[in-house]
Amino acid sequence: MPPTRENLSSGISVFAAVVDAGSFTAAAEAIGISPPGVSRSIARLERRLNIRLFNRTTRSVSLTEEGRRFYDEVMPHVWGMEEAATAAAGGTAAVRGTLRINLDPVTSGFLLGAPLARFMDDHPDLSLAFIARDHLGDLVTEGFDMALRFGEPRSSSLVARKLLDTSVVTVAAPSYLARHGRPEDPRELGTGKHRCLEFRDPETGRPFAWEFHRKRRKLAVETHGKLTVNDPGALVHACVAGVGIAQMLSLAAAPLIRERRLVNLFPDWPDERFPLYAYLPTRQHMPAKSRAFLDFVVALSS
């Protein structure tokens, strides 16, 4: 007998529980079925989809590339149905209280702008607490409602929800180009002829690698910059001042490019993308204040 929609929905619910809990055993405890029952449900879903969702070892479970893609594509619809059901039942709460958010410097620099002021004007009963952290840590123990991070999600028991992605651009100030000339090819940045500004990855402590993407082609360039910063505001300020060439998110660079304070050096390499994820302790019963803030962040890219 072919799988019914009810079976598919049940399988997706078990799949989400495994992602949330981080293991089949913990998921079984959370949803009240046996571990073999979880395994059978996942196996049926994998047969239904004709893909392998999890990498399984005796000690750990992690999403495969296809599993992560399925999660990113399907779960927003599941959350949307849950939120619609909550709204239909009259259970939505007012947007009020304090929302504690774990942020890294890149994300805080992206959020702290005029749109945030408008969001706060729209929700006068809500207070925001942005707490800088290089690492996610334990959101529940530390009292965070969510964390926001740019970059692909790492293995975690938290729920990772993709909000948006933005392109990465390579830029320089007109004053820098007047002194040093404009590079014609990205590979020139690895020759030592140009001064590149490095940005430290808060997760690894090392500068982000410089990459250039054009459709399926990817070009990696070793830049060996002599100035490294870990604050996005400092990176923008140094680049606008003509100190060197930088790679930054187009969300930050686009207004400066329009104002001709920065120049996009390689518009023919437009396809490197950098995603923003929200990390949540659970996908169940998201408070209205969290929903409102995530909707606000998604709208920033439109």
CATH number, position 150? 3.40.190.10
Q: Which domain holds residue 242?
A: 165-271
- Number of structural domains (the chain) is 3
Q: Are residues 109 and 54 in the same domain?
A: no
Residues 154-175 have pLDDT tens digits of 766 778 888 888 899 999 999 9
Number of H helices, E strands in the chain: 10, 13
Q: Are residues 26 and 170 in the same domain?
A: no
Q: Grade residue 6 by pLDDT with cuts at 50, 70 and 90.
A: low
Residues 102-136 have pLDDT tens digits of 988 778 777 877 789 999 999 999 999 998 887 77
Q: Is the pLDDT of residue 58 over 90?
A: no
Helix (H) or strand (E) run with residue 280 in it: strand 273-280
Q: Is the pLDDT of residue 203 over 90?
A: no
Neighbour tally for 84: CB within 10 Å: 10
In angstroms, the CA 170 to CA 115 distance is 25
Which residues are paired to 62 by β-bridges?
55
